[in-house]
Amino acid sequence: MMINKLKNLGLKLTPQRLAILNLLEGNAKHPSAEEIYNQLKPQYPSLSLATVYNTLEILAKAGELQE
């Protein structure tokens, strides 16, 4: 599960990061960072595009996502 992998990478499990993970799990559409941001921003007003990019970059570097 990606949540355990985030913990193993030493990342805090913020509501924003969990929302990004939930959106990505089982998603076959391969959304862009901007699409993820636009979809989650209404529910998470404090979400920044940088948070989305940083989370995706960390997951990609860990081999959990394909860019």
Residue 41 belongs to a domain: yes
pLDDT tens track, the chain, 67 positions: 667 777 887 878 889 988 998 898 877 788 999 999 999 999 999 999 999 999 899 888 888 777 7
pLDDT tens digit sequence for 37-54: 999 999 999 999 999 999
Which structural domain, as residue segments, surrounds residue 16?
2-62
How many structural domains is the chain composed of?
1
Q: What are phi and psi of 42, to 5 degrees?
A: -60, -35
Residue 67 belongs to a domain: no
Task: Give the pLDDT of residue 1.
Answer: 62
Q: What is the number of helices (H) and of strands (E) in the chain?
A: 4, 0
